[in-house]
Structure 1
Amino acid sequence: MLLSGGGERPRKPEDLIDSRLMARLDRIDLRTRRIFAGRIQGERRSKTRGQSVEFEDFREYVEGDDLRFIDWNVYARLDRLIIKIFLEEEDLALHLVIDASTSMEAGSPSKLVFSARLAMALAYVGLVNQNRVAVSVMGLPGRTGLVRLGDRRGRRHVHRLGQFLVDTLWSDEVVRARAATGAPAPGGDFTGALTTLARSRVGKGVMVVMSDLLAPEGYEAGLRNLAAAGGYDTWILQVLSPGEIDPAVDVEAGLTGDLRLLDAETGRATEVTITNALIKRYRERLKSWCDGINAYCLAREMTHLLVRSDAELERVIMDTLRRRGMVG
């Protein structure tokens, strides 16, 4: 929230994802730690017993079982009726949620640009693996409520989804609202947006929320309502800029001495004097705050990860998210 974002705004889907990264992402798929039933068949293994071609186990025949699944070879050898059990191939719903409030403009690249690129990459993984992918944008300056792109499936929707992100996050109307001076434009209702998502979501799957969690009203109520709705394997990716993680980065860039800081979310101004002691206290407070978010999410069976906005996108996906089990 200290410095505005740098770099040009994305203007086309290719500014969010390139062919080299797509080639790398073609090798992975989404994963989930929970088992969900899809609406139509997709390319995902679940523990729902079904009629796919992948064999899992045997069990004794009981009256009412489908006779087609009796292993007649076993019957011929052992005179026992044994049923083959298969893993059912089911689809997975992926819902991506991007916080576009004014504080997300901090950093270079900005937290918003990084979040959009991460969302585009995860959407690509979902689409090419025939999973349902939906996107919601909350906190748009000058707008209230959510802007959504409903379920899409298949590689042919990659460009359409990327264009939706560009048109929604960087439309001329939104850019003007972000650039306006004075109090921030309405739109940053974190709690209301997540509550709406919790009430309106249909089915089950994986939800990924990308936000700095710097909501004036706090993060607790929104995340609590999202968790209470159940049904989703929910990831909270907290995106912060390098200067927010360690203000010493901005001090090296000339942000020092007596300063007047403007809160990007509320418009409130604060007079501060940047000193080494103040930076030390800030680091301690930030660690305590992030630890609290992590504990809050853990208690509600959500995964919280802190990500820098200048992180290498491929490494975040292929290393961090892979190790944590979102993709594989």
Structure 2
Amino acid sequence: MKGPLVSVIVRSKDRLPWLLELLDRLLEQEGVPFEVVVIEQSGEKDQDRLRALLARAEMDPRLRVVRRPPMPPAAARNEGVRHSRGEILLFIDDDDLPVGRQWILAHAKQYEDPACLGVTGRWVLREGEGFPYACEERAYRRCMVFSPVLRLPWSYARQQRPKRGIEILGGSNASVRRSVVERVGGWHESVIEGEENGFSLRLLQAKQPHEYLLFSPEPVMLRRLNVPGGLERRTLPLAERVFRQLEYLHRVIAVYYPWRVRLLYPAYLVALIHRVAVELLDDSLLLGRFSRYLAVAKLIVFSPLFVIYGWWRLIRGNGP
């Protein structure tokens, strides 16, 4: 397929072994012109792998490594955009892997429709996994959208049906036109957690009625749970799950809808606990119905303590 250049942007920090494995898969991609831009933020500890990374960039003109001190996720995204040349920007995290050699192509072909502004792909925990959710229709309905009143995000990005008109571009395995990033103004670097959702909220305000975002199950990404500091949300303790919801409320929703959060704060707390409960009931890693119901019961009983603990962590971290 001939088409516009795709820039694959990778943010990486202190994960050189996993980054090198990711690059092996990216540089094997077929069917579309692409480049890979790595915003590398590791220290100087692993000199051997760092030299291997820089040597690979010297040998392969498709790979560009930009070394920077540690920076917030949104700042790293913007830095990657500045150093890229493609018309299509495709993001993947260093603890993830593309499945197959046409992963980039699966994103790029969606942009043959000029009304398509961005694409979020499907992710899996195991290659070839079946349907992971308890309710297929609920998963499809809530796939990559915000709740209508409170504007809290739903993911369900492991479901397997295409969906046009989603509202959220994921943080990884997500692509967007460069012109859209320029229209919206990039990612707000003051937002530390959930920067992709803040970007999506502004994109929804800026897009035209005929334009749309797409969820496509074709570009599949493997999320690795054994990477230090990587995605382990599905195995997080209850207190940590509640804290992450609170952190998102204070650091993203409150930024874009401050008065809504102030007026409806008790409703937000109830909604956050409900969201965690639904995640637990849908969690394919909690084997057995009894385990899921037991986790939900613990959540309900101890939710006041979890919320107080979350507030304490936010205050301790100078959160709002």
Considering fraction of residues, name the structure with more strand. Answer: 1
> TM range, normalised to the smaller chain?
under 0.3
Structure 2 length normalisation: TM-score?
0.27
Q: Provide TM-score, normalisation by structure 1.
A: 0.26
Normalized per residue, the structure richer in helix is 2
